[in-house]
């Protein structure tokens, strides 16, 4: 199986889906001539031309809305945001237009559209460029939200997102674009709504998604090495719909859980997961479920402060040790 | 065919068009009057924005469209839905929240949809649907069609960023869209000139290198002619147009708002009512001998009966089944 970067896996998904369906087009800032701010769209302008790879002005609300309108009239747009931080300017189109058209039209207007781009903090970009938006977006009925952690999942989930007849939010990661992994060639789709066990274990469940999958996997190694504890790492992959079965199956086995995310603690994805666990696994729990999140502050610029603000393997290990009553 | 017969046929077609326009404007007027009554009786809930006074805008502009063209609008869209041919019964049933409504009772007054008629909604956030109109134009161009998208919004939407972002992109991408600004002078209770640095909306087209036209919105024929010119530009080469159609609403902003008071005087409203677009067209047709008072009364009675029928249909229709709560959230 070929090894690809996360960036190239996304590129492959876009290329294959654009070859497969002439109604699929890509629109966003710098996607064409510049080959993508993060080079996810490299080569697509040359292959598909400017009608299908459309450069836009810096006007997120405007081009997100043009995408929604195009989907209303039969196209399957892929709208790239240079980062999800800028997509906040387009939230009206995502929340009020894309997510509601099917319902408020009484089922007349399915809306096949993908909104994608990097989410969460990279390195020292400061408060406005270092935010994780998944809890905002997952709150909205009518949207689907996926957050792939590996190149293979990135390809498979983006392909599913493009084929889906609903608005799908694809949360990528600037720090993930260069990561490598094996990616199946050609037709490879990952169904939306299914979590994936990235490491099996029996003592504690670490529930994570996107960049925090790497954090959890490192924590699991440390737990095995230093505490003799076997951690199971459940990658949610899809945040809406949430794979409740995968969460409960793992927690029923381990009786302990830590939820890790890049977002802030209040009303975070972890809060939702904990709600699922307390309701579905109440009798199986041997310890309170703990959460590791970004510190409840705007992201600082200073390198040391930034490191302190982010979820880290050490923080996950500390939380896991507490739920295992090792400390 | 002699020149005279050609001219006769033209005159006949024009007379027929004018009669149809009068009929549609009357239908909207009577429909909206009945809507106000039903609202007062509690049969219609929520926000409800009437179109009374503005009928010439929807009727004149939509008469310039083909069936395969697209229409999208804001929340003051009952009139446009009716002029587009959405059945009055389905519109009234939607206002009543019934299962037989054009949006199955899930949309309401601000979210009328009939995709079969290419009536792409009723949208409730001021200016939020303007980019959607451009997106429909983008799809038309992408698919190589020669349709147009007619996008209505009020003058207050011109102060919103979405308007400017969209006009810029529609011009850059050469989209076949007609941006029809219905300038009724007031965004709720705020006079446009109090909050707009540029009060001639049409001037904004200069910033986006776009064709534009200022139109008397109380003259249905003027609206029709201007829209026809815009449609030609759009079909010919995907050139968008900004139309500023000056009109006036005879009612309050919504059913919850006063007709006049702190923001405009009763005298002003009364003065504007003298420009009533329906009376003006009726007068023209009677003066030309195309219609007499008896004919006008008969037409009015016919429209009242059609609206009565719509109300009866809405009244007798069932509420949506409780199971409908969870349908249409996501598509298969």
pLDDT digits (tens, 9 = 90+) for A175-189: 999 999 999 999 999
Question: Residues A187, A188, A192, A194: is their CA dihedral positive or negative?
Answer: positive
B5 pLDDT tier (thresholds 50, 70, 90) = confident
Percent of chain B with pLDDT over 70: 99
Helical residues (DSSP H) of B152-241, grouped into ranges: 161-172, 192-195, 204-207, 220-237
Mean pLDDT across B70-98: 98
Give B96's contacts (C-beta < 8 A, 6+ positions apart).
B38, B43, B44, B105, B314, B315, B317
A46 pLDDT tier (thresholds 50, 70, 90) = very high
Among the partner-chain residues B72, B106, B169, the one whose CB lies closest to the CB of A103 is B106
Contact check, Cβ <8 Å, A141/B329: yes
What residues of chain B lie within 8 A of the CB of A242, using their CB? none
- ipTM computed for the complex: 0.97
Structure tokens belonging to residue B203: 């001037």
CA distance A278 to chain B (A): 25
CA distance A225 to chain B (A): 45
How buried is residue B57: exposed, middle or buried, by Cβ count under 10 Å (0-12/13-18/19+)?
buried
pLDDT value, residue B11: 86
CA distance B14 to chain A (A): 32
Catalytic residue among A16, A17, A60, A306: A60
Among the partner-chain residues A51, A93, A104, the one whose CB lies closest to the CB of B131 is A93
Tokens 């010119």 locate to B229
* Helix (H/G/I), strand (E/B), else coil: A27: strand
pLDDT digit string, tens, across residues B111-140? 999 999 999 999 999 999 999 999 999 999
Average pLDDT, whole number, for chain A?
A: 98
What residues of chain B lie within 8 A of the CB of A70, using their CB? 135-136, 138-139, 142
Contact check, Cβ <8 Å, B115/A108: yes
CA distance B95 to B106: 10
What residues of chain A lie within 8 A of the CB of B129, using their CB? 65, 97
What residues of chain A lie within 8 A of the CB of B139, using their CB? 69-70, 72-75
* Helix (H/G/I), strand (E/B), else coil: A226: helix
Interface of B with A in 156-175 (CB under 8 A): 161-162, 165-166, 168-169, 172-173
Chain B within 8 Å of A105 (Cβ-Cβ)?
Answer: yes
| Contact of A187 with A239, CB cutoff 8 Å | no
Tokens 């997102």 locate to A161
Interface of B with A in 263-282 (CB under 8 A): none
CA A152 to chain centre: 13
Percent of chain B with pLDDT over 90: 94
Region of B21 (left: φ > 0; alpha: ψ -120 to 50; beta: rest) is alpha
What residues of chain B lie within 8 A of the CB of A165, using their CB? 331-332
pLDDT digit string, tens, across residues A279-326? 999 999 999 999 999 999 999 999 999 999 999 999 999 999 999 999
A56 pLDDT tier (thresholds 50, 70, 90) = very high
CA distance A171 to A133: 9
Among the partner-chain residues A72, A93, A104, the one whose CB lies closest to the CB of B106 is A104
How buried is residue B18: exposed, middle or buried, by Cβ count under 10 Å (0-12/13-18/19+)?
buried
Chain A / chain B CB contacts < 8 angstroms: 147
CA distance B222 to B276: 14
Contact check, Cβ <8 Å, B140/A73: yes
First to last CA, chain A: 43
| Contact of A320 with A230, CB cutoff 8 Å | no
Structure tokens belonging to residue B319: 């509420």
Domains belonging to chain A, first-starting first, are: 3-182 (3.40.50.970), 196-323 (3.40.50.920)
Q: Does any domain span residue B195?
A: yes
CA A309 to chain centre: 20
CA distance A219 to A215: 6
* Helix (H/G/I), strand (E/B), else coil: B209: coil
SS3 content of chain B, % helix, strand, coil (to 5): 50, 10, 35
Asked whether residue B1 carries a pLDDT value surpassing 60, the answer given is no
Q: Which residue of A has its CA nearest to B175?
A: A66
Structure tokens belonging to residue B92: 């009234």
Tokens 């931080």 locate to A85
CA B199 to chain centre: 22
What residues of chain A lie within 8 A of the CB of B68, using their CB? none
Interface of B with A in 80-119 (CB under 8 A): 101-107, 111, 113-115
Angle at B175 between CA B169 and CA B179, to 5 degrees: 80
CA distance B17 to chain A (A): 29
DSSP state of A81: P
Q: Does any domain span residue B2?
A: no
Asked whether residue B238 carries a pLDDT value surpassing 90, the answer given is no
DSSP A91-158: HIIIIIIITTHHHHTTTS----EEEEEE-S--SS--GGG----HHHHHTSTT-EEE---SHHHHHHHH
CA distance A167 to A209: 20
HSE-CB at B15 with a 13 A cutoff on CA atoms is 13
Question: Residues A144, A150, A154, A160: is their CA dihedral positive or negative?
Answer: negative
| Contact of B148 with B178, CB cutoff 8 Å | yes
What residues of chain A lie within 8 A of the CB of B131, using their CB? 61-66, 68-69, 93
- The 3-state secondary structure of B242-311 reads EEEEECCCCCCCCCCCCCCCCCCCHHHHHHHHCCCHHHHHHHHHHHCCCCCHHHHHHHHHHHHHHHHHHH
CA distance A243 to A60: 31
Q: Does any domain span residue B1?
A: no
Helical residues (DSSP H) of chain A, grouped into ranges: 6-20, 44-48, 60-72, 84-87, 91, 101-104, 134-138, 151-163, 212-222, 244-254, 269-280, 303-309, 313-323
Largest CA distance in chain A: 60
* Active site (annotated) includes residue A139: no
Q: Does any domain span residue B70?
A: yes
pLDDT digit string, tens, across residues B18-64? 999 999 999 999 999 999 999 999 999 999 999 999 999 999 999 99
Q: Which residue of B has its CA nearest to A164?
A: B332
What value does the CA radius of gyration of chain B take, rounded to a whole number of Å? 20
CATH, residue B295: 3.40.50.970
Chain B within 8 Å of A33 (Cβ-Cβ)?
Answer: no
Percent of chain A with pLDDT over 70: 100
Angle at B171 between CA B168 and CA B177, to 5 degrees: 105
pLDDT value, residue B237: 81
CA B29 to chain centre: 12
Q: Which residue of A has its CA nearest to B111?
A: A104
Give B180's contacts (C-beta < 8 A, 6+ positions apart).
B57, B61, B150, B151, B152, B153, B227, B243, B245
Average pLDDT, whole number, for chain B?
A: 96
Contact check, Cβ <8 Å, B106/A71: no
**In this structure, how many other beta carbons lie within 10 angstroms of the beta carbon of residue B241?**
24
Contact check, Cβ <8 Å, A97/B161: no
pLDDT digit string, tens, across residues A248-292? 999 999 999 999 999 999 999 999 999 999 999 999 999 999 999
CA distance A157 to chain B (A): 17
CA B68 to chain centre: 17
Q: Which residue of B has its CA nearest to A240?
A: B330
Q: Which residue of B has its CA nearest to A68?
A: B132
CA distance B267 to chain A (A): 39
Chain B within 8 Å of A65 (Cβ-Cβ)?
Answer: yes
C-beta contacts of B289-293 below 8 A and 24+ residues apart: B290/B15, B290/B18, B290/B19, B291/B19, B291/B22
Bridge partners of A288, per DSSP, are: none
DSSP A89-107: GGHIIIIIIITTHHHHTTT
Chain B within 8 Å of A63 (Cβ-Cβ)?
Answer: yes
Q: How many domains does chain B have?
A: 1
| Contact of A116 with A161, CB cutoff 8 Å | yes
Range of the domain at B116: 13-321
B81 pLDDT tier (thresholds 50, 70, 90) = very high
| Contact of B185 with B250, CB cutoff 8 Å | no
pLDDT value, residue B9: 82
What residues of chain A lie within 8 A of the CB of B332, using their CB? 165
């Amino acid at each position: 199986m070929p090894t690809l970067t996360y960036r190239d896996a996304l590129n492959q998904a876009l290329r294959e889906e654009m070859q497969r369906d002439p109604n699929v087009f890509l629109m966003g800032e710098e996607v064409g001539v510049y080959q993508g701010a993060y080079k996810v769209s490299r080569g697509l302008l040359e292959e598909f031309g400017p009608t299908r790879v459309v450069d836009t002005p810096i006007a997120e609300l405007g081009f997100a809305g043009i995408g929604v309108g195009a989907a209303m009239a039969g196209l399957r747009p892929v709208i790239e945001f240079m980062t999800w931080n800028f997509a906040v300017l387009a939230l009206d189109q995502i929340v009020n237009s894309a997510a509601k058209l099917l319902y408020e039209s009484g089922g007349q207007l399915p809306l096949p559209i993908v909104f994608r781009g990097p989410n969460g903090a990279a390195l020292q970009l400061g408060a406005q460029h270092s935010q994780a938006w998944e809890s905002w977006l997952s709150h909205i009925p009518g949207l689907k939200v996926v957050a792939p952690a590996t190149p293979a999942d990135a390809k498979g989930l983006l392909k599913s997102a493009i084929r889906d007849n609903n608005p799908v939010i694809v949360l990528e990661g600037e720090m993930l674009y260069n990561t490598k992994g094996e990616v199946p060639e050609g037709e490879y789709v990952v169904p939306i709504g299914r979590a994936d066990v990235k490491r099996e274990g029996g003592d504690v469940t670490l529930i994570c998604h996107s960049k925090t999958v790497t954090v959890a996997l490192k924590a699991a190694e440390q737990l095995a090495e230093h505490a003799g504890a076997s951690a199971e790492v459940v990658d949610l992959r899809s945040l809406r719909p949430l794979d409740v079965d995968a969460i409960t199956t793992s927690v029923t086995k381990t009786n302990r859980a830590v939820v890790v995310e890049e977002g802030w603690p209040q009303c975070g994805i972890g809060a939702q997961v904990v709600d699922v666990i307390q309701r579905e696994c109440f009798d199986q729990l041997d310890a309170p479920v703990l959460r590791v999140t970004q510190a409840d502050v705007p992201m600082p610029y200073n390198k040391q402060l930034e490191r302190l603000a982010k979820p880290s393997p050490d923080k996950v290990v500390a939380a896991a040790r507490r739920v295992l009553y090792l400390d | 065919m002699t020149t005279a017969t050609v001219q006769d046929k033209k005159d006949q077609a024009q007379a027929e068009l004018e009669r149809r326009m009068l009929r549609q404007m009357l239908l909207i007027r009577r429909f909206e009057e009945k809507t106000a009554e039903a609202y007062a009786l509690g049969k219609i809930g929520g926000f409800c924005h009437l179109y009374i006074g503005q009928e010439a805008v929807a009727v004149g502009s939509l008469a310039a469209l083909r069936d395969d063209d697209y229409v999208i609008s804001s929340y003051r869209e009952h009139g446009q839905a009716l002029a587009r041919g959405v059945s009055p019964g389905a519109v009234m049933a939607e206002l009543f929240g019934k299962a037989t409504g054009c949006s199955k009772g899930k949309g309401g007054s601000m979210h009328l949809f009939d995709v079969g008629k290419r009536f792409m909604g009723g949208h409730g956030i001021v200016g939020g649907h303007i980019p959607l109109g451009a997106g429909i134009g983008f799809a038309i161009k992408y698919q190589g069609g020669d349709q147009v998208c007619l996008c209505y919004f009020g003058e207050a939407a011109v102060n919103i960023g979405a308007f400017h972002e969209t006009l810029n992109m529609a011009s850059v991408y050469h989209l076949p869209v007609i941006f029809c600004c219905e300038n009724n002078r007031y965004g709720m209770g705020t006079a446009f000139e109090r909050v707009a640095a540029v009060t001639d909306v049409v001037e904004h087209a200069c910033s986006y290198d776009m064709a534009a036209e200022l139109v008397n919105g109380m003259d249905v024929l003027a609206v029709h002619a201007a829209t026809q010119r815009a449609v030609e530009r759009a079909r010919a080469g995907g050139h968008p147009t900004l139309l500023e159609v000056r009109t006036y609403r005879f009612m309050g902003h919504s059913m919850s708002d006063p007709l006049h008071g702190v923001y405009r005087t009763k005298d002003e409203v009364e003065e504007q009512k003298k420009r009533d677009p329906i009376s003006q067209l009726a007068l023209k047709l009677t003066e030309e001998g195309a219609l007499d008072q008896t004919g006008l009364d008969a037409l009015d009675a016919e429209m009242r009966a059609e609206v009565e029928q719509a109300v009866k249909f809405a009244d007798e229709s069932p509420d949506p089944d409780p199971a409908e709560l969870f349908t249409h959230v996501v598509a298969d």
